[in-house]
Amino acid sequence: MARRILVIGTGNKHKVTEIAPLLLETGLDLELKPASDYGAFDPDETGATLKENALIKADAALKLSREWSISDDTGLEVEALGGRPGIFAARYAGEGCSFDDNINKLLGELNGVPLEKRGAKFASVIALCRPGQAPLYFRGECKGFINIERRGTGGFGYDPIFTITALNKSFAELTTAEKNTVSHRSIAVKQCRAELERLM
């Protein structure tokens, strides 16, 4: 029986690096491919929720590849900012912005806000799309706070300023293996992996 191909619908290579070991650590017979292997992949994320945007990307990857496809959408909700940046976390500082641009904007908006009022939550939703089947969804959350300054050199995105309350470490201070035990994305991926094991 041919190995099952699973297409990951993202243009973010960091996400693929995080997702791949989590999906494969239990020996699932999967061949992971980025959607870009099948052609240009840049769907418009026009959804109003993480779930809608995850589906847009997973469905686009399915249509491009005709293979089982997954995609995640991640948001960062900061209490002091009324839940912003939310689903706009990746482009908070504007289209084409860098990770640093986003961090600088967020820290600027929180300037003067004390640590005890900087509570935040990361959430990830993964959509799994298969030909002729209804999509399936998996959600993970991780609670913490936004630090006053950057800590650590690992990770990507907001990792240097998002501190996990239980560990008192930023995501950027954790190894990939450590992050994969607690992160919002790892929780969602593990749920997805369990369902893939059942389906296969």
Q: Which residues are catalytic?
A: 73
Q: How far apart are CA 124 and CA 173, in angstroms?
A: 20
- DSSP reduced 3-state for 121: strand
Q: How far apart are CA 187 and CA 143, in angstroms?
A: 12
Strands 85-86 vs 68-78: parallel, antiparallel or unpaired: antiparallel
Cβ contacts of residue 70 below 8 Å, gap of 6+? 6, 7, 8, 9, 58, 61, 126, 127, 128, 129, 192
Cβ 19 vs Cβ 191: under 8 Å: no
Which tokens hold the place of 187?
A: 């929780």
Which tokens hold the place of 28?
A: 């699932």
Which tokens hold the place of 20?
A: 């791949």
